[in-house]
Amino acid sequence: MLYLTFILCFLCSILMTPVVKKLAFKVGATDKPNHRKVHQKIMPRLGGLAIYLSFLLGILILQPESPYPTAHAAIVAGGVIILVTGVLDDIFDLSARIKLVLQIAAALVVALWGGVDVDFINLPFNGRIEFGIFTIPITVLWIVGITNAINLIDGLDGLAAGVSSIALVTITGMAVVMGNTYVVAMGVILTASTLGFLKYNFHPAKIFMGDSGALFLGYMISVLSLLGFKNIAVISFVVPIIILGVPISDTFFAIIRRLYNKNPLSAPDKSHLHHCILKLGYTHRETVLLIYAMSAMFGLAAFIFTMTTVWGSILFIIILLIAIELFVENIGLINKNYRPLLRIMGMLKNR
């Protein structure tokens, strides 16, 4: 039944995307080119609606049972809030403050009603950190953070859809290993729906997913990662962070840039990962495929991480962080004045 649902969701997404494209033009959900954007013509940007409709079809067919009594209903309800937020933004360009409030509302629905939260994390050598009163704030921060991280990388044709698909495949694969049937079902549905849309979204794109797609996918990935890796017997929160290494690192360095330059956190710029790779001379398609490869490597790294010993995990994280830092410094993702590794190496050289 799982395979049949995958095929049906995939086909539904393929069939619904052209319909949504026409609807986007009718309601004015279009993206106009400017100095910050790569595309050169007006594009429809309501593609997330096609993904969501295909997702709903999969839900109706499989009717997955969540591990918590009210979790599934809460996840779907939160998804509706996020989708409505994205659709309204695609049409009317909502302010960053309104979008943030609605994202927090969706996260609270999942955490308070659904019982999906981060109440503790496991540490090496049988250690554990209990979050207590900070459980809900940390859970909301995770959901809102990942939701916006996927939105931030949605800067090239097919980029967010492809990176999300790779993350979903990784999360689903690990859920299969751990026997988490709910995450497997939801992951299969979302992956099929996103891949069907990607047929029209890959370069040269015929439609953008818009905030309706990027926010919805980010929200669902954040929630599934919580369900899939909660309380596992390693440094538990590191696993989804590794899987989502590309959007998380891009968002992290974007925050550093904006704080350093004293710009608002919501201020756009042209220094994201995809912009930097384009500046190196890669084509649009090559840049997207290169970032796909990075996402797949992070997914593979997450699998390896879960199979190592505690000391191996710690060493693995250190090597991964150094590799990310070196890569970031070489492609210019952050300004040379605040490249920490270069500054440390310079200090050691001067001693």
* Residue 55 one-letter amino acid: F
Instruction: Write the burial class of residue 157 (CB in 10 Å: 0-12 exposed, 13-18 middle, 19+ buried).
Output: buried
Instruction: State in Å, rounded, how far the first CA of the chain is from the last one.
Output: 65
CB 165 within 8 A of CB 198: yes
The reply to whether 231 sits in an annotated binding site is no
What is the token pair recorded at 189? 């549905």
Query: Residue 151, annotated ligand binder?
Result: yes
DSSP code per residue over 91-137? HH---HHHHHHHHHHHHHIIIIIS-----EEEETTTEEEE-GGGHHH
**In this structure, is the dihedral angle defined by the CA atoms of residues 26, 32, 38 and 40, taken in order, positive or negative?**
positive
- Please name the residues in contact with 290: beta carbons below 8 A apart, sequence gap of 6 or more: 277, 282
In angstroms, the CA 92 to CA 84 distance is 12
210-229 vs 135-152: helix axis angle to the nearest 10? 140
Chain centroid offset of residue 325 CA: 20
> How many whole angstroms separate alpha carbon 114 and alpha carbon 70?
5
Q: Rounded distance, CA 247 to CA 226, Å?
A: 17
Q: Which residues are annotated as a binding site?
A: 151, 211
Q: Which residues are annotated as a binding site for Mg(2+)?
A: 151, 211
